[in-house]
Amino acid sequence: MTIIPDTLALIGNTPLVRLAGPSAAAGAEIFGKCEFVNPGASVKDRAALFIVRDAEERGLLQPGGTIVEGTAGNTGIGLALVANAKGYRTIIVMPETQSREKTDTLRALGAELVLVPAAPFSSPCHFVHQSRRIAEETPGAVWANQFDNVANRRAHVVGTAEEIWTQMDGRIDGFTCAVGTGGTLAGVGLGLKAKDDRVTIALTDPDGAALYDYYAHGELKSEGSSVAEGIGQGRITGNLEGAPVDTQFRVSDAEGWKWVRRLLSEEGLCLGLSAGINVAGAIRLARELGSGSRVATVLCDTGFRYLSTLHNPEWRVARGLPA
């Protein structure tokens, strides 16, 4: 064991765990990157750190400045932690539909939280557009712009992908995850393809998102809906441009919840719905690749962030999920 030199160095270098139940179900080896080990308990800490460093290097963020972002929660939490460590303020704009745990966490971290009604991206009231306007109107502020700022995916090209490659001794056949900003899928995909172009990169899309049809048929088209927070995208973001997507899957909330429940009851992992959807996608990819294949995915965040929602039986029943 070595001593970590500073708190920001705690971000990344997360463990990779073999998932027994999913591996048995796939007849293959399924591995989960434990991103809940990050200080902010999610994969978004990586993007937050790279976005802030990029703004500093370009001279956009000065001492005592403010970071503004529109987020479903986890990126805001990561930004608030990084900002605290570096002496910046944060203003976070978030849809009011997100879990109470996220809003409580952001306030506890000292972020100024602006909750707005959920709105489609085409509306000027969408949380992303509102965050951009706040950044433009706030002296000394920068807009993190996680969806189109490619510092996001660079965090995964040089960080997450390198870690997975090393942890799996270069023996990896496939990688998959869902998309919110696209940074994780595109960044890990680019990083792994640079090591071995034969690695299959797959999108795992929740119901209600448009990317499955885009990669399958060339058309942005959504079907159904999902209660998963932080994933599901209706456009090609800056981070997704040029993403090396080889194949795609669509996973329902019910299928994702099945794996959240099994991983909790059988393996002692408390995860969110996005992680369950990712695991379901990894199983499908492994089955396509064949017996004995080795597939990695991302366990995006902790289920403790969804105690009032996903892990609340009454909430699930009201949304058509098993109690």
Q: Give the pLDDT confidence score for residue 62 in this predicted structure.
A: 95
Q: Give the pLDDT confidence score for residue 90 in this predicted structure.
A: 98
Q: How far is CA 284 from the centre of its chain?
A: 19
Q: Identify whether 86 is a catalytic site residue.
A: no
Beta bridge partners of 16: 33
Digit-coded pLDDT (tens) for 127-138: 999 999 999 999
Digit-coded pLDDT (tens) for 159-191: 999 999 999 999 999 999 999 999 999 999 999
Contacts of 286 (CB under 8 A, 6+ apart): 26, 27, 28, 29, 30, 173, 174, 293, 295
This prediction has a pTM of 0.96
**Residue from 299, 28, 8, 27 nearest 164 by CA:** 299
Q: Give the pLDDT confidence score for residue 323 in this predicted structure.
A: 80
Digit-coded pLDDT (tens) for 280-291: 999 999 999 999
Instruction: Give the residue-averaged pLDDT of 10-14.
Output: 98
pLDDT of residue 305 exceeding 90, the answer is yes
Q: Which string of DSSP letters, residue by residue, matches 56-121?
A: HHTT-S-TT-EEEEE-SSHHHHHHHHHHHHHT-EEEEEEETTS-HHHHHHHHHTT-EEEEE----T
User: Are the CB atoms for 45 and 78 separated by under 8 Å?
Assistant: yes
**Which residue in 44, 86, 102, 195 is the catalytic one?**
44
